[in-house]
Every structure is written in structure tokens, then in C-alpha cells.
């Protein structure tokens, strides 16, 4: 088995985003207006794309969005590998804070990476989200 994490084009994330996150919505629902501005990473297992994440940076802050692992591959550590890789990428940039809109039922996963829940939350399409963040010091 070979695992490779590589930069991919935004369009390559759409099918997996749709399948994992919002399968009951039109495919366009998972496309972001600013997708072309982001860094998109994919984890491939034996040449098959099984996990994706998109990163957007602005003014010393980074947000990751649309983090999805193929349902049949969840629980095998692939999302952890991808998020650890993302953290390594951020360590080479002048980023003070990483944040995300975490589904409320997934917050414990993000806490393993040092992310903390904020007091901010919202609901989208019946799904509760909590804004989580991790502050960095000593980057560059």
C-alpha cells in the first residue's frame, strides 16, 4: 500500500466533498466561491483519492475547510495524517492562528491537534458547527 499527500486542484476535491459532507445536496453545494484562492491537499492510497482538505490564508490567519475522508476509510488514521501534514505546511508560513468550522460531533477529533473550542457556534442546514482555533507562536 502506498500513501501520498499532494497538492491538488480545487476541482479534484468536489466529488469527495460531496460524497462525504453533503450527499443529499446538489454537487454545487460543496463548491466555495474562493476555491481558486486556496491550497488543496489530497491523500491518495494506491493512487485513489481518499481524503481532502482546503486551506485559505489571510492576514496571518489560516482556515481549513471541506476536510473530508471517504466513509469507508474513516477511522484508519488517514485524516490524522492529512491534518498533521497541513500543520507542517503551516509551520513554514507566518501564521498566528488556524481555525475551522467544526461539526459539533467532530470536535474531539480536532482537540487531538491542540485546537480549542471557541464560544462561537452556528447551525447550517440543520448541522451544528463550533468554531475551533489553534494559536501558533514562534512561526518563522
Q: What is the pTM of this model?
A: 0.89
- Tell which CATH classification among 3.80.30.20, 1.10.3720.10, 3.30.70.100, 3.40.630.30 matches the domain 3-135: 3.40.630.30
- For 24-81, what is each residue's pLDDT tens digit? 999 999 998 999 999 999 999 999 999 999 999 998 899 999 999 999 999 999 999 9
- For 115-124, what is each residue's pLDDT tens digit? 999 999 999 9
Query: Environment class of residue 83 by beta-carbon count within 10 Å: exposed (0-12), middle (13-18) or buried (19+)?
Result: buried
Residue 8 has pLDDT above 80, yes or no: yes
Whether 45 contacts 33, CB under 8 Å: no
Whether 121 contacts 130, CB under 8 Å: yes
- Listed by start position, the domains of the chain span 3-135
Amino acid at each position: 500500500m502506498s500513501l501520498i499527500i499532494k497538492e491538488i486542484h480545487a476541482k479534484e476535491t468536489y466529488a469527495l466533498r460531496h460524497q462525504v459532507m453533503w450527499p443529499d445536496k446538489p454537487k454545487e453545494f460543496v463548491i466555495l466561491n474562493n476555491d481558486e484562492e486556496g491550497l488543496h491537499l489530497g491523500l491518495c492510497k494506491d493512487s485513489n483519492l481518499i481524503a481532502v482538505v482546503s486551506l485559505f490564508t489571510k492576514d496571518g490567519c489560516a482556515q481549513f475547510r471541506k476536510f473530508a475522508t471517504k466513509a469507508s476509510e474513516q477511522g484508519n488514521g488517514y485524516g490524522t495524517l492529512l491534518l498533521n501534514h497541513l500543520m507542517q505546511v503551516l509551520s513554514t508560513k507566518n501564521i498566528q492562528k488556524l481555525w475551522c468550522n467544526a461539526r459539533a460531533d467532530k470536535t474531539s477529533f480536532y482537540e487531538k491537534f491542540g485546537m480549542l473550542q471557541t464560544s462561537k457556534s452556528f447551525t447550517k442546514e440543520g448541522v451544528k458547527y463550533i468554531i475551533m482555533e489553534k494559536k501558533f507562536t514562534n512561526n518563522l
